[in-house]
Every structure is written in structure tokens, then in C-alpha cells.
Structure 1
Amino acid sequence: MKTANEPKQRKLPLEILGIGLGIIWLIPFYLMLTNAFKTPDGIFANVMALPDSLVWSNFVVAFQELEFLKSLFNSVMITSVSIAIIVIFSSMAAYALARNKSRLSTTLLFVFVAAMLVPFQAVMIPLTTMFGQVNMMNGAGLIFMYLGFGCSLAIFLYHGALSSIPVSLDEAATIDGANRFQMFWFVIFPLLKPITVTIAILNVIWIWNDYLLPSLMLGQDNATIPLKMFYFFGQYTTQWHLALAGLTIAVIPVIIGYFFAQKQIIKGVSEGAVK
């Protein structure tokens, strides 16, 4: 006969495993926070130990050296504009491919899917050369590159979501007098909100943390936070106390953004999972 404690006993190993994984996941944050308040000597003396005293000047110097407000503005602008363009153009392209059944649309979809397999490093030098010839080694050129590299996965995901939306909705909108753009923007696109949230999350993580592509396209005047962080890592020495303080400062906007958008993010992801 089963006792009331048996289900709890069965869940105990999973709970222990979850706690252990949670601790492992939090270790990098512990190291970042504790060592951000130390002197260089304190870091090299014992990385895992708590700081003897809180060195707040690390954050002041890191904030100034990063030109944090300026680099934060650059990161937010490039990320937000890139996400908006990827979502708009990819959703429209996927809609056109999903609603026009032909060999050409199938071939184009295959080309977009195949493009995901091409690594950026393989086309890095030719692309930067071409963009340099047309004077687009700037933020606009970087956003255009993000559209090219991000649209393949976005179109693939949107195309899969559109296959579950019946064509009868298009026909009903046409009967009501809507043109093709109105049909897509006011009828179809709102139904794509769950997959839009997923695409936005994936691309925000990629674009916000990207270093290689901005390092090739941007100068110091419009550098993003990852580019500015490289200032603390020299050829012969690394200013770990300032680097970790800078990382702590850089994480704050992400946490604040997630705090305000968590409801929409969780809702969108859960709706996408249900569908």
C-alpha cells in the first residue's frame, strides 16, 4: 500500500538535482559580484573568497572608461532597430512564401534554410570588403548585416507558424475589403505574436552580446557595450577588477529590461509552446 510520503520521496532526488544545478548556474554570478568589489591583489589572493572591504571605486572607473551611457545607447539602438527590421521583413517574407504555393516559393524557402548552415566566418572578409567599398562600415551597415544573418531562422520559424493559420482568414479579410498589406498587418501578424516573441528573444541574446561583427563594422565613436568591455583586456595584462565591475554594470540593463518585459516574454513563450 502506497503511503502519502512516497510521491515526495520520489521527487526528492529531482529537487536535490535542481538545487545542485541552480548552485552551479549561480557560481559565475557569485564570482563576478564578489571580485568586482576587490582590489587586483585581493582577486589574485583568493578568487572564491568574499571581499575584505567593498571597493566602490571599481564601478566608478569602469563606468567612466566604458562611456557607459553612450555605449548603452548604441547597444539599445542597434539591437532594437535590428530586431524590428528582422521581425517585419522576415514575417512578410514568410507570409508570401507560405501563401504562394509553387516550386519557386519552395526553392526560396530551401535557400533560406540552407543559409543558416553558412558560418559568418566564411563570408566575413568578402562582406566587410564590399561594405567598405560602399561606405557602410557603420551602424546602418551592421543592422543590414544582422538582417541578412538573422532572417533565415526567422523566416523558417514564421513559415512553420503560418502553416497552422487557415487561409480562410485571408479570404474573410478580402471579402471585408482589406488589401494584402492590411490583411497581413491587422489579421495575420497579431496571430504570430508567440513566435514573434521567441524570435525577438533569440535575436536579442545574439545581437546584444555579439562582439565579432561590431568589432569589424563599428569604430570607437559608436561602439557597443561588448566592444567597450574589451578595453579592460590588454595584450599583456587584464584589469580584472574593472572588467568584472564593468560586467556587473552591463548586466543591470538586461535585468531591468527583463523585469519589465517578463510578463510578455513568459506569455509569448508559453502560448507558442501550447500551439
Structure 2
Amino acid sequence: MKAESYGPKWFTTELIILLAALLFLSPFYFVLANSFKSFAELLTDTSGLPKSLNWHNYERAWEVLKFPRALRNSLLITVFSDLCMIVVSSMAAYRLLRRPTKANRILFSLFIAAMVVPFQAVMIPLVKVGNWLHFLNSLPGIVLCYTGLGVSFAIFLYHGFMKSIPLEIEEAAVMDGCTPYGIFWRIVFPLLKPMTITVVVLQSLWMWNDFLLPLLILQKPELQTIQLATNSLFGQFMKQWDLALAALVMGIVPILVFFLILQRHIIQGITAGAVKG
């Protein structure tokens, strides 16, 4: 087939896409530009560039919010939730796929159905159960909550990806005397690397930016995440936008760098998971 030459149609399409990209990137510009302004300059000239790169806002936000502590809490919650989610969901998806019994099919359908239940519908029962089990105001408690809330989506992704893994590989391992756990951890799980990275990136973006669940579970100041610490700058009579914007930039940078490093694996994992074996 002859390739279509570049003309007004392609130019118009690219121009529309470029304008849409600039529109979606505009909030990042406002956050970054205003984070270097004083409070007075921020109120008088919101859309303009800062007159000078003033790092005073970042220094004050670092001290006022005790940012290293909030960063540590966010990292601990995200990392351990990802680890628990990967172990539980990968093993569950493998069992549900390789043992297609009626009970497993029903269980998989329940996991899929759980994905459409909004968090607002379960947050009050979740807090009550957490209170009964003494999970409130503890990092292990919120890790368990994130694992339970995110495992359905992770199982769905792993289940689709595993369909592209040939069953003959596992049958050959059985002939060599490999145990079921050995087959999974030594043969199947290494093949799940693209989907594992996809799950880690998608779930990390969700947990890192989440505000409602930490607000409900973590009420002690020493357990605050970056989002909760930033929210403390907004009171009934005072809103410290200069410090809040600087804190937002510091909170965005780690997860943005993490996403940019691993983003190519997301497309690879999702497209491979869409192919049935």
C-alpha cells in the first residue's frame, strides 16, 4: 500500500494533538512556576514566570512539613504494598488460570466485579474493620488495606498476561521433577517481568497520590504521607499556597522519575497481556 503523503490533514491532526498536550501540561506549569514565587507575587501574577528562582519556599516546606519523614512514610507504604500485591496476585492469577474449575471461575468473576465497586462504598466498613483489628494508625495496617483494594486489578492483569505463556514449558518442568512452587517461582514468575513492572508502576501511581485512604487510616502526625502533610498547609482561615506548591513539586518528582524510567514496560506488558495463548 502506498503511504499517504504529508499534507494539510496530517498537519491539522498533529496541531490538534500538540494543543491538547499543552492543555494537559498547563497545570504542571502553574505548579512549577508558582512554587518559586513569594506569597505576594503568587497572588498578583499567577500565570507569569517567577522574577527569580527563589528556593526559600522549598526550604521552608522541607522544614515545616518534616518532608523527609513524610517521604519515608510514602515510600514504605508504596514499596511494601507493591511487594504484597505482586506475591498474592501473581500466585492467585496462576492458580485461577491453570486450574479452571467452576469454583475458580466464580472466584475470578468476583475479583473482576470488585473492580467496579467505588472506594466510597466500602470506606466506612473498612474503617470499622480496621478499628476492630487494631489496624488504624499503623503502616502495616494501611499496607494491608492497599493490598486488598488493589489485588483485584493486579489479578486481572496477571491473568490476561499468563495466557500468552505456553503451557508446554510447565509440562516440561514437571517431567524434570519440578515442584508446583518451583514451576511458578523459577519458570513462570521470571516470564511475568513485563506485567510485574506494569502492575508496580500503575499501583504505585495510585498509592503515591492517594489522599482519602491515608486520611482515614493514618491520623497520627508522625505517620503522615506526603499528601496528608501537604494538606496540613490548608486551614479554615489560612492557605499557604507558596509552601504547598513547593511541597507538591517535591512530592511529584520521585514518582515522576520512577514512571519515566519504567514507562516503556507498561505498553509491553499490556499489549502482551491482550494476546491469548
Q: TM over 0.5, yes or no?
A: yes
- What's 1:220 paired with? 221
- What's 2:184 paired with? 184
- What's 1:70 paired with? 69
CA distance in 2 between partners of 1:126 and 1:268 (Å) = 33
Deviation per CA, 1:81-104: give whole Å up to 9, x if none. 101111110010011111112110
User: CA 1:102 to 1:5, structure 2 compared with 1: closer, same or farther past 3 Å?
Assistant: closer
Task: Please state if 1:15 is matched with 2:14.
Answer: yes
CA distance in 2 between partners of 1:169 and 1:238 (Å) = 60
- What's 2:268 paired with? 270
- 1:10, distance to aligned residue in structure 2 (A): 3.7
- 1:271, distance to aligned residue in structure 2 (A): 5.1
Of 98-107 and 128-137, more deviation after overlay is shown by 128-137
CA distance in 2 between partners of 1:103 and 1:130 (Å) = 30
Q: How does 1:1-275 map to 2 (within 5 A)?
A: 6-137=5-136, 138-218=138-218, 219-258=220-259, 262=261, 264-270=262-268, 272-274=270-272, 275=275
CA distance in 1 between partners of 2:269 and 2:212 (Å) = 34
Deviation per CA, 1:101-150: give whole Å up to 9, x if none. 21101111111111112222112122212211222111111111111110
User: CA 1:5 to 1:128, structure 2 compared with 1: closer, same or farther past 3 Å?
Assistant: closer
Deviation per CA, 1:219-262: give whole Å up to 9, x if none. 21121111101011112221111111111121222234345xx2
8 Å contact kept, 2:195–2:270 = yes
CA distance in 1 between partners of 2:50 and 2:163 (Å) = 56
CA distance in 1 between partners of 2:5 and 2:176 (Å) = 60
User: CA 1:201 to 1:131, structure 2 compared with 1: closer, same or farther past 3 Å?
Assistant: same
The residue identity in structure 2 corresponding to 1:108 is L
How high is the sequence identity, in percent, across the aligned residues?
A: 38
CA distance in 2 between partners of 1:271 and 1:108 (Å) = 24
Helix, strand or coil for the counterpart of 1:178?
A: coil
Q: Please give the TM-score of this superposition, normalised by the length of structure 2.
A: 0.91
Of 264-273 and 235-244, more deviation after overlay is shown by 264-273
Of 173-182 and 15-24, more deviation after overlay is shown by 15-24
CA distance in 2 between partners of 1:256 and 1:206 (Å) = 15
8 Å contact kept, 1:63–1:246 = yes
The residue identity in structure 2 corresponding to 1:224 is T
8 Å contact kept, 2:142–2:217 = yes
- 1:26, distance to aligned residue in structure 2 (A): 2.2
Of 128-137 and 207-216, more deviation after overlay is shown by 128-137
CA distance in 2 between partners of 1:116 and 1:271 (Å) = 20
User: CA 1:202 to 1:107, structure 2 compared with 1: closer, same or farther past 3 Å?
Assistant: same
8 Å contact kept, 2:34–2:46 = yes
- 1:76, distance to aligned residue in structure 2 (A): 0.8
Unaligned stretches of 5+ in structure 1? none
Helix, strand or coil for the counterpart of 2:25?
A: helix
User: CA 1:226 to 1:23, structure 2 compared with 1: closer, same or farther past 3 Å?
Assistant: same
The residue identity in structure 2 corresponding to 1:199 is V
Helix, strand or coil for the counterpart of 1:235?
A: coil
8 Å contact kept, 2:92–2:155 = yes
- Aligned-residue Cα RMSD (Å) equals 2.0
Helix, strand or coil for the counterpart of 1:7?
A: coil
The residue identity in structure 1 corresponding to 2:145 is M
CA distance in 2 between partners of 1:113 and 1:255 (Å) = 29
CA distance in 1 between partners of 2:198 and 2:259 (Å) = 14
Deviation per CA, 1:11-53: give whole Å up to 9, x if none. 2112212321222122112111221111222112121122234
